[in-house]
Amino acid sequence: MYQITLVDIVVAFIPVLATVIIIGYWSQSIKSASVAISRMLIQLLLIGYALNFIFDSNSQWIILLVLMFMLIAASWIGLNALPVNPRSLFIYSFSAIACGGGLILVFISQGVLHVDPWYQPQVMIPIAGMIFSNSMNAVSLAGERLYSELDHNQDYSRARNIAFQAAMIPVINSLLAVGLVSLPGMMTGQILAGTPPTIAARYQIIVMCMIFSSAGISSALFLSLLKYQIQNRSQ
């Protein structure tokens, strides 16, 4: 496995700096990019230390707290792109991601990977992160497109179908491109760590299945739940 030093990280930021300079010349504002890059760096450094503590604790209660925090964060962030007050939709977003993502998390961890104990942090946290983040993106895309279609005087059923299709486009594209255009992060990481490519490919197949399923189920649930909010708003 390749060892990455702090010097390597500094070197990796050279093209990042070049990109920020281009953004500054073309858009005259580097604030959003600078904030995003800074947050990425700080968040990843902090999560590295946090995961060390979580892995060493090997406590089911700590794992449950971490999973709940991830779920709440995904449910809230997924509403940022919607043209309504996030507070009014949080319960819908939370329910959709908890049911859709949670169902797939249990199914994959226990029915496919047979994780024992069930709260093994080295497995549960990375898998939950992939599932919840993809559910979050699907919910966000579905909700944004639904309200956009409703604003163009589409009826709910038609708007729902269009929104669901839009939410699934990135996931379907990733299924079509995997292995041809790109090697996904998990597979790349395993290969760099020395795992045989055939074994890494099997794990990636499982990952793609859970990403597709969690995105589809979560966005479908969210769109179904939004029907009640939309009906109440129109009355």
DSSP output for 55-99: HHH--HHHHHHHHHHHHHHHHHHTTTTSSS-HHHHHHHHHHHHHH
User: What does the pLDDT profile of the chain (235 residues) look like in tens digits?
Assistant: 567 888 888 999 999 999 999 998 887 678 888 999 999 999 998 988 888 888 888 788 999 999 999 999 999 999 988 888 878 899 999 999 999 999 999 999 999 989 888 888 888 998 999 999 999 999 999 999 999 888 887 788 899 999 999 999 999 998 888 877 777 777 777 777 778 888 888 888 999 999 999 999 999 999 999 888 776 665 5
**What pLDDT, on the 0 to 100 scale, is given for residue 215?**
95
Give the pLDDT score at 108: 93
Locus of tokens 């299924």: 175
Side-chain half-sphere exposure of 36, counting CA atoms within 13 A: 8
What letter would DSSP give residue 116? S
Instruction: Kindly provide the residue ranges of all beta strands, DSSP E only, lying in the chain, ordered along the sequence.
Output: none
What residue type is assigned to position 50 of the chain? A
Cβ contacts of 155 within 8 Å, gap of 6 or more: none
* pLDDT for res 139: 95
**pLDDT for the residue 232:** 64
Question: How far is the C-alpha of 187 from the C-alpha of 198, rounded, in Å?
Answer: 10
Give the model's pLDDT for residue 94: 96
In this prediction, residue 17 carries a pLDDT of 93
Cα 59 to its chain centre, rounded Å, is 24
Predicted local distance difference test score (pLDDT) of residue 214: 95
3: DSSP letter:
P
